[in-house]
Amino acid sequence: MLAFDLSMAPTPESLDERRAALSELNAGVGACRACALGLSRTRAVPGEGPADAEIMFIGEGPGYYEDQQGRPFVGAAGQFLEELLESIGLKRTDVFIANVIKCRPPGNRDPLPEEIGACSGWLSRQLAIVQPKLIVTLGRYSLARFLPGTPIGKAHGQARRVNGAWVVPMYHPAAALHQGSLRQPIEDDFRKIPAYLEQARRDAESGEARPALAAAAPAATQMKLL
């Protein structure tokens, strides 16, 4: 059972409508029991950021500290994410930060397919509300949402158009904390974000790109930076 039926919700237009829709969504996530994680969590973690953010970062799921605080990326990985954002002149309040699943799997185990499926509607709704110009996936579960079957080792750092929206796969910041050799690739990939965003803005102005509303992707095209 989907936690949220996207087909039943109107797409908000004005900023006020988008903010109101996000508040409604946050309340819905907080009350959601569509999978067993809703019973074991301390707090649901819907995500946070401006309702009109140009970039949405999508991680995997809440860990211990996120579960305690109800906010995404507040542990060591979150600190590294903030450093990475600063390295390209952004603050975390400039971007929207979400996860594929909104409640912590016990012991930080990997989320189960049925949990990801149950939670999928919430992320679809966030994408429909925020309509980011650029989606940055962090980690393999987030990548699989948009580019199923794509190995992160090959795809990271390359922007692709998925269902009309630009998606940039990246390693999860936590991966660099466990495996030091990934730190440099993550930093290099982040440095590409401003150029990708510029390209995505141009595409949006010309009507060539549109916000992502759905999950699974058919054929994707790769962004060619000038």
Instruction: Give the C-alpha separation, 119 to 123, whole Å.
Output: 7
3 state DSSP class of 160? strand
Single out the residue of 6, 21, 22, 32 in contact with ligand SF4 (rule: CB under 6 A): 32
Degrees, nearest 5: CA angle 160-86-103: 65
29 in contact with ligand SF4 (CB under 6 A):
yes
**Which lies closer to ligand SF4 via its Cβ, residue 99 or residue 131?**
99
Question: Six-digit token pair at 98?
Answer: 């979400």
Residues 118-157 that bind ligand SF4 (CB under 6 A): 118-119, 122
Buried (b) or exposed (e) across 114-135, using 16+ Cβ within 10 A? Answer: ebbbbbbbbbbbbbbbbbbbbb
* Interior angle at CA 38, CA 36 and CA 40, nearest 5: 80
102 binds ligand SF4 (CB under 6 A): yes
Report the residue number, 37 or 85, with the smaller CB distance to ligand SF4. 37
Query: Per CB under 6 A, which region of 116-124, 139-147, 153-161, 167-175 contacts ligand SF4?
Result: 116-124
Q: Is 3 in the site for ligand SF4 (CB under 6 A)?
A: yes
37/74 with CB nearer ligand SF4: 37
When CB distances to ligand SF4 are compared, the closest residue is 38
Find tokens 């979150």 and name the residue.
78
* Alpha carbon distance 53, 226 (integer Å): 24
Residue 201 CB, shortest distance to ligand SF4, in Å, is 32
CB of 7 to ligand SF4, least distance (A): 17
Q: Which stretch binds ligand SF4 (CB under 6 A): 18-26, 32-40, 145-153, 214-222?
A: 32-40
Segment interacting with ligand SF4 (CB under 6 A) among 28-36, 81-89, 169-177, 194-202: 28-36
CA 89, CA 12: separation in Å to the nearest integer? 29
Q: Is there binding between residue 58 and ligand SF4 (CB under 6 A)?
A: no
Burial class (CB in 10 A: 0-12, 13-18, 19+), 174: buried
As a whole number of angstroms, the distance between CA 90 and CA 107 comes to 32
Token readout for 133 is 């110009």
**DSSP letter, residue 34:** S
Q: Which of 81, 98, 101, 168 binds ligand SF4 (CB under 6 A)?
A: 101
Least distance in angstroms from the C-beta of 90 to ligand SF4: 27
Name the site residues for ligand SF4 (rule: CB under 6 A). Answer: 3, 29, 32-35, 37-38, 44, 101-103, 115, 118-119, 122
